[in-house]
Structure 1
Amino acid sequence: MTVLAGEYFRSYSVVGLLAVLGVLFVAVAFGAGRLLRPAVPTPEKLLTYECGVDPVGEGWAHTQVRYYVYAFLYVIFAVDSVFLFPWATVFAETGYGATTLVEMFIFLGFLTIGLLYAWKKGVLTWT
């Protein structure tokens, strides 16, 4: 029993060691950056800088909601492709064909209903 427990905790010690090494690497990199960089703050360096344009006016800007909707639709179809690739690999194996085919058509049906709903609501029109 102790032999198995020793092997079990040894695998966790490797993960712990890698985590500690990762934290040390980041700490050494930040420390070296702090020691090596010049620190000469000037008023120009303390100004907000955005894309080469000096800040003018307020910091708030109105953004159209439709851009977020397009982003959400992209995420939905990206997730769809993530599920389609593993399904394509399992579909060819014996014993999984009919079951996985039905499950994937149910999944694609839900996505199609969502796409039709978005189309009916006018989300996909760029105006």
Structure 2
Amino acid sequence: MPDYFDRYAAVLALVLVGAAIVAGGLGANRLLRPHRPTAEKLTTYECGVDPVGDGWAQSYVRYYVFAYLYVVFAVDAVFLFPWATIFSAPGYGMTTLVEMFVFLGFLATGLVYAGKKGVLSWV
């Protein structure tokens, strides 16, 4: 049984060393950085421009749909890369090919649906 807990001790040691490296880096940054706060540095700004007006603004839901479509196609890429690597393995060729075309068919159906709803038009 001692060998079993020695493995956990090694993991714990690595976690402690990693935490010490991060803490050391943050501590060195705090000690070495210049700290000269001025009134201009402490003002609120957004993208380098002083904020004007009320903080509440309406945003189009369309932008969230674009973000959602991006996530869908990013997940598509996550599935396509492993598929491309296993496709050449013996015994997986036709099975993976059919599965991936079914998957791409679902994505194409969703893309056609989004196009018919007018979601993909930018303006």
Q: TM-score range by the shorter chain?
A: 0.7 to 0.9
> Would the alpha carbon gap of residues 44 and 11 (structure 1) be closer, same or farther in structure 2, given more than 3 Å must change?
same
Q: Is 1:72 the equivalent of 2:68?
A: yes
**What percentage of residue pairs aligned between the two structures are identical?**
65
Question: Matched residue pairs, number?
Answer: 123
1:49-82 alpha-carbon deviations (Å, 9 max, x no partner) = 2222122222223222212211211121121122
Q: Give, in whole Å, the separation in 2 of the partners of 1:53 and 1:99.
A: 56
The residue number in structure 1 matching 2:31 is: 35
RMSD, aligned CA: 2.0
> Would the alpha carbon gap of residues 38 and 97 (structure 1) be closer, same or farther in structure 2, given more than 3 Å must change?
closer
The residue number in structure 1 matching 2:119 is: 123
Q: Is 1:52 the equivalent of 2:67?
A: no
Show structure 2 runs of 5+ residues with no match: none
TM-score by length of 2: 0.83
> How many angstroms does 1:45 deviate by?
2.3
Match of 2:11 among 4, 11, 15: 15
Deviates more, 1:67-76 or 1:10-19: 10-19
1:13 maps to amino acid: A
TM-score by length of 1: 0.80
